[in-house]
Structure 1
């Protein structure tokens, strides 16, 4: 998440990445290399914040390192990772 905003609060580190596609009516994510750190949580929501996927936890890590998120309505999504 090299373009992500990062901040710390109350002992947690947060990383947030916004993804936009101006003509899109929905967006999904397919991770080719997916591994969450121990105790990390990931949330994915649309720009309107009326659709949420999460918390996604390290339990979703698998031997293929792949993970996918179903389409969320709108032209933008936000990925938020919380770690301690």
Structure 2
């Protein structure tokens, strides 16, 4: 994931340990912390390509096991934006 984080940082999409998902005109933004992101997508940490990130992921959150794809998690649109920018 470090390479992904570096590319996000190069594109001004990192704020400390937070990944910026959306930016608003007033300067505010929606973000996810790296720990939460890695909980959802840690199964592809060695190869976080577009295809791998939008696929199906099994993870434990809040003590419960889930299997969901990026669209169900609300991240697909962000991955599509990153893909268009050449980040992934």
Instruction: Indicate the TM-score class for this superposition, using the shorter chain for normalisation.
Output: under 0.3
Structure with bigger helix share is: 2
Q: Which has the higher contact order (CA 8 A, sep 6+)?
A: 1
TM-score (norm 2): 0.26
Could you state the TM-score of these two structures normalised by the residue count of structure 1? 0.26
